[in-house]
Amino acid sequence: MAETNPIAPGMTRGSVGEVAAYFVRLGLLAFGGAAGHIAMMRRELVQRKKWISEQEFLDLFGIMNLIPGPSSTETVIAMGYWRAGWPALILAGVLFIAPAMLMVLGLSWAYVRYGALPAAQWILYGLNPIVIAIIADALWSLGRRALKSIWLASLCVAAIVLYFRGVSIVAIIFGAIFLIVVVAIAKKPGKTSGAAFVPMALAAGSAAAIPFTLTWLFLTFLKIGAVSYGSGYVLLAFLRADFVAHLHWITDKQLLDSIAIGQITPGPVFTSATFIGYLTGGMKGALLATLGIFLPSFFFVAIIFPLYPRLKRSAGARIFLDGINATTVGLMGAVSWQLARGAIVDWFTAAESLAAFLILRRFQINSAWLILGGMAVGFAFRFAVR
């Protein structure tokens, strides 16, 4: 008899083995940054495997956006716990991160040996339009679920407008939290029940030109993992402030190359830390940097996620989650538009993306097959037109 999931009444708990099998595959194929990762998880875990409902998945992603660190990786960690308990919390995160870390290690070795990144444009040409289609499919469904009123739609639109006006993701999220709390209080006069999240904030200063040590490398990445919000572009600002401007351990070019490697490999862009760790401290540096930047995410999810069932039962928390969900859908849409402008570069990539979107809307196909097919078709097209 299947074991009942204590976190989600009415749903069955899965096995650690199925969690491991899915998330190692996701780690090998999850391109497109946080938006792509979330879209792939939604496609597989909500629609195909039915591990979690659409609304629960949206709530989960909304909560993960409230804590520092890579939101998609934290959603992976939380999904492991959701499906199979504490052992899967750790296993899901590790198996999602490990493939990207190993690929980045290989690219780091090649970079140090040859002084440049191996060519990867042929991969991205056919791959990126597929990722855009997967994200568009997710936005279509998540948006219909999240934007349930004019108020929530307004939050979504405001998030998009502010993002394109250059307002930071952190400011947008905390501005939305403020408005949501005001609305919640207005709807429930005299009551203050609800959920409050107070993310950790650590000092970001560091002395200039500090001599390199593995301990300082680890602590610097631990700090970044504990305080950074948002995408790889936000991570870029944190990394530059510490490793280029303050510590002087790497150059601006090496920093940009680290972000590029994080983007051309599947899995979290935060594995750029692995590259910087390898450049500065070899294999030990790479492993310590990776551990440092991801460790806070496991810590935050382990603390916050067990409170999830209690939060769900609170009427104030429902208002709070609805508002955060609308805001995060808006941010996901804004980032996706930027990604699409770089991915849809000619008639072929436009046709490829449209075809993939229509296939996803019509059939319950595994998105991994679309990604592999896109890579093959893109390579074949580029080869044929040369």
- Tens digit of each residue's pLDDT (9 = 90 or more) over 310-332: 766 666 666 777 887 788 788 87
Q: Quick one: pLDDT band at residue 199, thresholds 50, 70, 90?
A: very low
Is the residue at 357 inside a domain?
yes
Is the residue at 206 inside a domain?
no
Please give the tally of structural domains in the chain.
1
pTM: 0.70
Is the residue at 113 inside a domain?
yes
What domain range is 112 assigned to? 16-198+302-385
- Whether the CA torsion 257, 287, 97, 335 is positive or negative: it is negative
> Is residue 131's pLDDT more than 70?
yes
Q: Do 74 and 97 form a contact (C-beta atoms < 8 A)?
A: no
Is the residue at 331 inside a domain?
yes
Maximum Cα–Cα distance across the chain: 70
> Is residue 206's pLDDT more than 70?
no
Q: What whole-number distance in Å separates Cα of residue 338 and Cα of residue 246?
A: 30
Percent of the chain with pLDDT over 70: 81
pLDDT at 317: 67
Q: What whole-number distance in Å separates Cα of residue 329 and Cα of residue 321?
A: 12
Is the residue at 112 inside a domain?
yes
Q: Residue 4's beta-bridge partner residues?
A: 12
Q: Quick one: pLDDT band at residue 145, thresholds 50, 70, 90?
A: confident
pLDDT at 124: 65
Contacts 24+ apart (CB under 8 A), 244-247: 246/205, 246/206, 246/207, 246/208, 246/210, 247/206, 247/208, 247/209, 247/210, 247/212, 247/216, 247/220
> Is residue 161's pLDDT more than 70?
yes
Contacts of 21 (CB under 8 A, 6+ apart): none
Q: Which amino acid is at 119?
A: A
pLDDT at 123: 64
Mean pLDDT, range 277-303, rounded to an integer: 95
Is the residue at 291 inside a domain?
no
> Is residue 253's pLDDT more than 80?
no
Mean pLDDT, range 37-48, rounded to an integer: 90
pLDDT greater at residue 226 or residue 260: 226
Is the residue at 247 inside a domain?
no
Helices then strands, counting H and E runs in the chain, come out as: 16, 0
Is the residue at 279 inside a domain?
no
The CA R_g of the chain, rounded to the nearest whole Å, is 21
Q: What whole-number distance in Å separates Cα of residue 265 and Cα of residue 263?
A: 5
Q: Quick one: pLDDT band at residue 208, thresholds 50, 70, 90?
A: very low
- Whether the CA torsion 14, 368, 28, 139 is positive or negative: it is negative
Q: Which of 113, 368, 108 is nearest to 260 (CA)?
A: 108
Quote the mean pLDDT of the chain: 81
**pLDDT per residue over 92-114, tens digit each?**
999 999 999 999 999 899 888 87
pLDDT at 204: 38
Mean pLDDT, range 205-213, rounded to an integer: 64
The highest-confidence range among 98-102, 168-172, 265-269, 315-319, by mean pLDDT, is: 98-102
Q: Which of 95, 119, 120, 117 is nearest to 25 (CA)?
A: 95
**pLDDT per residue over 8-29, tens digit each?**
555 567 899 999 999 999 999 8
